Amino acid sequence: MIKLKPAVLYNCSTKIKPIGIFYLVQYTIFALICIIINICTGKNQNGSNGLELCTIVFVSITGVLSFKEDFKTLLQNGYTRKYIFLSTVCMFVTITGSMAIIDTVIGNVLHHFISGYNTIFGMMYGYDNLLLNWLWLTVVYMLFCSLFYLAVLVINKVGKMTSLLIGVGLVGVILVIVSLFRFVFSSEIVSNIMRFVMNAMGFMNDGTQNLLFPILSFFGIGFVLTVCSYAIIRRTELN
């Protein structure tokens, strides 16, 4: 791993500025809305919940932007695809992990001080465990990061036209599955599937919650997506 560290540093360095701008804009707007509501209603209320959604959008964009320019620069500097891939994954972990810390801390602070503000995690699982909150957010961010990274790799590999067809195909598959649920599957199968999904999200049949399940599920999906990305980038040429 002789040359991995500078590559990870480089990948992170190109993202630090956008992250700063992102948080600045997000909290400025959030604060403005709060102030306006305060002035208009005279209540200490807020206008929105779950700011993590914004971060999800942001990390998805990061995933998209983590290929082309960085790939070129690192190739020019003698990096092989394997190292480029590893450095990108390391960068994803660093960025999603850090952003998850920020969002966990700020989200819980906001929840404490502003009545009615909820984080996504809090709404689903409560506010008891900060560590699991952070871990859960990290794997969710990682999932979106790797999903969009894979998407941009696929688009680069097969070209815009083919990607569009793949996209249309995916929409078709989703529509078919939805109609399968409505008309073909028996209610028993549907409820089994629903139960499986609920379990995977950590809501157990006996009404308790198991947070390791969703973390492992998201991690698993993210891992599969990442492996697919590796399979593609190994065959990617400079164009």
Partner 1 sequence: MEAIQIKNISKKYKDVVALDNVSFSFEYGKIYGLLGRNGAGKSTLINIIANRIFADSGNVLIDGISAKENIAIHNKIFCMSEADLYNRDLKVKEHFKWASRFYDSFDSSKALEIAKQYDLDINKRFKELSEGYQSIFKLIIALSLNVPYVIFDEPVLGLDANHRELFYNLLLKEFEAGQQTFIIATHLIEEVTEIIEEVVFIDKGKIIVNESVETLLQKGYSVSGSIKEVDSYCKGREIIGYDELGGLKIAYIIGEKPAMSEKRNLQISTMTLQKLFIKMTNERGK
Residues in contact with partner 1 by the rule CB under 8 A: 2-3, 6-7, 9-10, 14, 69, 72-73, 75-83, 234-235, 237-238
Nearer to partner 1, 49 or 73 (CB): 73
How far apart are CB 160 and partner 1 at their closest, in Å? 17
Nearer to partner 1, 45 or 94 (CB): 94
Phi, psi of 30 (to 5 degrees): -60, -45
How far apart are CB 128 and partner 1 at their closest, in Å? 43
Strand partners, 209: 203
- HSE-CB at 207 with a 13 A cutoff on CA atoms is 0
Evaluate whether 3 touches 79 at the Cβ level (below 8 Å): yes
Q: How far apart are alpha carbons 10 and 198 in whole angstroms?
A: 40
How far apart are CB 23 and partner 1 at their closest, in Å? 20
Beta-carbon neighbour count of residue 64 at 10 Å?
Answer: 15
Nearer to partner 1, 70 or 103 (CB): 70
Nearer to partner 1, 1 or 39 (CB): 1
Q: How far apart are alpha carbons 97 and 142 in whole angstroms?
A: 9
Please state whether 202 falls in left (phi above 0), alpha (psi between -120 and 50) or beta.
left
How far apart are CB 170 and partner 1 at their closest, in Å? 27
Phi, psi of 203 (to 5 degrees): -95, 105
Nearer to partner 1, 7 or 143 (CB): 7
How far apart are CB 150 and partner 1 at their closest, in Å? 20
Nearer to partner 1, 43 or 68 (CB): 68
Q: How far apart are alpha carbons 91 and 229 in whole angstroms?
A: 15
How far apart are CB 86 and partner 1 at their closest, in Å? 11
Q: How far apart are alpha carbons 79 and 211 in whole angstroms?
A: 39
